[in-house]
Amino acid sequence: MAIQHVMVIGAGQMGSGIAQVCAMRGMRVTLQDIAPEFVERGFSRIEESLVRIVKKGGLSESASRDTLASITLTTTLDAVASADFVIEAAVEKMDIKKSLFMQLDGLAKPDAILATNTSSLPITEIAAVTSRPERVIGMHFMNPVPVMQLVEIIRGLQTSEKTYRAVADLAQALGKTPVEVHDYPGFISNRILLPMINEAIYCLYEGVADRDAIDTVMKLGMNHPMGPLQLADFIGLDTCLSIMEILHDGLGDSKYRPCPLLRKYVAAGWLGKKSGRGFYDYRSESK
- Catalytic residues, by residue number, are 119, 140, 152, 190
- Three-state SS string over 12-26 comes to CHHHHHHHHHHHHCC
One-letter amino acid of 91 = V
134 is in an annotated binding site: no
With residue 114 as reference, give the H or E element that holds it. strand 113-116
Q: What is the DSSP letter of 221?
A: I
64 is in an annotated binding site: no
Nearest C-alpha neighbor of 250 from the set 102, 114, 115, 124: 124
Nearest C-alpha neighbor of 30 from the set 19, 41, 21: 19
49 is in an annotated binding site: yes
32 is in an annotated binding site: no
**Residue 102 to residue 24: CA distance in whole angstroms:** 30
106 is in an annotated binding site: no
284 by Cβ neighbours in 10 Å (0-12 / 13-18 / 19+) ranks as exposed
42 is in an annotated binding site: no
58 is in an annotated binding site: no
14 is in an annotated binding site: yes
11 is in an annotated binding site: yes
Q: At a CB cut-off of 8 Å and minimum separation 6, what does 203 contact?
A: 209, 214
215 is in an annotated binding site: no
Query: What does each C-alpha distance from 146 to 22, 25, 93 come to in angstroms?
Result: 10, 12, 25
**Residue 238 to residue 233: CA distance in whole angstroms:** 9
With residue 130 as reference, give the H or E element that holds it. none
Biggest CA-to-CA distance, the chain: 56
176 is in an annotated binding site: no
284 is in an annotated binding site: no
List residues forming the annotated binding site for NAD(+).
10-15, 33, 92, 97, 119, 143, 274
Question: Which amino acids are annotated as binding site for CoA, given as ranges?
Answer: 49, 56, 119
Which residues define the annotated binding site?
10-15, 33, 49, 56, 92, 97, 119, 143, 274
